[in-house]
Structure 1
Amino acid sequence: MTTTFITGANKSLGLETARRLLEAGHTVYAGMRDSANGDAVRALGAHVVQLDVTDQTSVNTALGSLPELDILVNNAGILGTSFGVEDLTPEAMQSVLDTNVLGIVRVTQAALPLLRRSARPVIVNVSSGVGWPRFLSTEGHDEFPVPAIPYAASKAAVIALTVQYAKNLPSFRINASDPGYTATDFNGHGGHQTVTEGTDATVRLACVDADGPTGEFHNRNGRIDY
């Protein structure tokens, strides 16, 4: 049996990832800040775990409650409160980085002892095309009109830390996924993709074989080339 832990799994992309991996036969532990919001994922058959990725004690307690772990999906993230230069403050930047980047580091570091016992350890970090400079700077891409600085910077950092973790842990399969412009709370459900389409890359990367890709960035169409 494959045991999977998903952060931010109470709604949207996290909930759909949980649904699809449960359907694939995984035992899923669903992390979320408020376990009272876990009815939807609990109804699917997942085990709800209280988790605040910005709180090291919460992270340690959550990971310490797991009996084993094969796959970690770092999905939790926030959009933040700054959407341009005029409203940008160091505090706004710090808040986004604390959840989207440091949150991944806290959870991943706490998960490593469990993952090292797995025969096929896998980590998927949910990033975004908004963190890919080529998409941000090329007209015609969904990401080009986005002016927000903290979110873009945080997702670029997620891609970089994914590459570096993969280099440091060659026996793991560690990749970053780009959901694409998916209809979620982040964009007022204005995205042109469904949550199922938005989780295609994450689910595929969660299920890679031991000789599968590592240190790569993928969307639902495959690897995103540099």
Structure 2
Amino acid sequence: MSADESSQATALITGGGTGIGAATARRLAADGFHVVIAGRRRERLDATATAINVDFPGAASVIVMDVTSDASVREAVAGISRCDVLVNNAGGALGVSRVEDGDLAEWQRMYDANVLGTVRVTQVVLPLLRRSPRATIVNISSVAGESVYEGGGGYTAAKHGTSVISETLRLELNGEHVRVVDVRPGLVHTEEFSLTRLHGDQAAADKVYEGVDRPLVASDVAECVGFVVGLPQHVNIDTLVVKPVAQAAVHKLYRAPIDWKTEA
């Protein structure tokens, strides 16, 4: 990171190459942050950073980081001299099996990424955050972090873990200036989330969103991150739950057109 970048407010976004992470990086770059986009796939990171830098020259840089590896996280963060905002977005879901049929290897991978990955990155970045007057941790959890549903045992367990980390940090950092925010999106239509969860079955992934009039998209969640980060430092949004209008609850999703009453 250059001297110019180190003097600019900096946001580190894990899982930043695609989806919510990429949209959040763009949103924070638009707000004047230098965004450090972290993830495992260099080509995706580079493509996202290049696109951001076209519109906001020099606003984005890239580090390769696997949040499931202690060594990878330490090595990646060692190259960062400043961090004002940490967005723990890396995670994801695998499988829709019932508990009795669950693939424990998939459960382990979800726990490693969503829970231990959030802890690993937070532990290493916290010393940098403590030096910043804008110190903010935003953990991207899910409505699965507060509700459960059939076929979602492994993912809901992992996202409950993510949200519990946020709630615990909020207590443990009380008295310091560091903000901790848990963002819990509902149904978000991104390119990879359901496709990855359903092991590359595009037809099955498409059915997740079938008939839903305006599910959330990645930029909607990014707007929420920009909102909580942009508030005065003494204002902490502990939990922000965001769902599309069509989704009243995890188990109640309207799959038909909605009359949006557009203006004449």
Normalised-by-shorter TM-score class: 0.7 to 0.9
Corresponding letter in the other structure for 2:117: G
Shift in alpha-carbon separation, 1:186–1:83, aligned structure 2, 3 A: farther
**What residue in structure 2 maps to residue 59 of structure 1?**
73
Compute the displacement of 1:131 (Å): 1.7
Report sequence identity in percent. Answer: 32
Q: Deviations over 1:53-80 (max 9, x none)?
A: 0011110011111120100000001212
Partner SS state of residue 101, structure 2: coil
Q: Deviations over 1:173-198 (max 9, x none)?
A: 00110222110122336541222223
How far residue 90 of structure 1 moved from its aligned partner, in angstroms, is 3.3
SS in 2 for 1:38: helix
**What's the TM-score, normalizing by structure 1?**
0.86
The 8 Å contact of residues 142 and 159 in structure 2, kept in 1 or not, is answered as yes
Per-residue CA deviations over 1:146-185 (Å, capped at 9, x if unaligned) read 5211111111111111011111112210011022211012
Give 3-state SS (helix, strand or coil) of 2:17's partner: coil
In structure 2, relative to structure 1, the CA distance for the partners of 1:83 and 1:207 (3 Å cut) is farther
| Matches of 1:86 and 1:202, distance apart in 2 | 36
Off by >3 Å, runs of 4+ in structure 1: 188-191
Relative to structure 1, the CA distance from residue 61 to residue 208 in structure 2 (aligned partners, 3 Å threshold; closer, same or farther) is farther
Asked whether the 8 Å contact 1:178–1:201 carries over to 2, the reply is no
Distance 2:97 2:32 in 1: 40
| 1:213 equivalent in structure 2 | 236
Aligned length: 210
1:30 to 17, 37, 41: 37
Partner residue, 1:48: 62
> Which one of the candidate residues 158, 176, 188 is aligned to 1:182?
188
The equivalent position to 2:223 in structure 1, one of 193, 200, 215, is: 200
Question: Where does 1:1-226 land on structure 2 (aligned, <5 Å)?
Answer: 1-43=8-50, 44-45=52-53, 46-133=60-147, 136=148, 144=149, 147-170=151-174, 171-184=177-190, 185-187=192-194, 188=205, 190-191=208-209, 192-213=215-236, 216-220=238-242
Contact 2:145–2:184 (CA under 8 A) maintained in structure 1: no
CA distance in 2, matches of 1:88, 1:82: 8
Deviation at 1:86, TM superposition (A): 4.1
Distance 2:172 2:156 in 1: 25
**Whole-angstrom distance in 2 between the partners of 1:109 and 1:165:** 11
Q: Secondary structure at the match of 1:199?
A: helix
The 8 Å contact of residues 124 and 176 in structure 1, kept in 2 or not, is answered as yes
Alpha-carbon shift at residue 123 of structure 1 (Å): 0.1
Q: Distance in 2 between matches of 1:58 and 1:206?
A: 27
Contact 2:96 2:151 in 1 (8 A): no
Structure with higher Rg: it is: 2
Q: TM-score, normalised by structure 2?
A: 0.74
Does the CA-based 8 Å contact 2:17-2:44 persist in structure 1? yes
Question: Which amino acid in structure 1 is aligned with residue 12 of structure 2?
Answer: F
Return the offset for 1:82: 4.9
Query: What SS does the aligned partner of 1:163 have?
Result: helix
Partner-residue secondary structure (3-state), 2:120: helix
Q: Which moved more, 1:178-187 or 1:85-94?
A: 85-94
For 1:8-54, what per-residue CA distance to the aligned partner results, in whole angstroms no more than 9, with x for missing partners? 00001100001111111110000010212223321113101000000
Over aligned residue pairs, what C-alpha RMSD do you find?
1.8
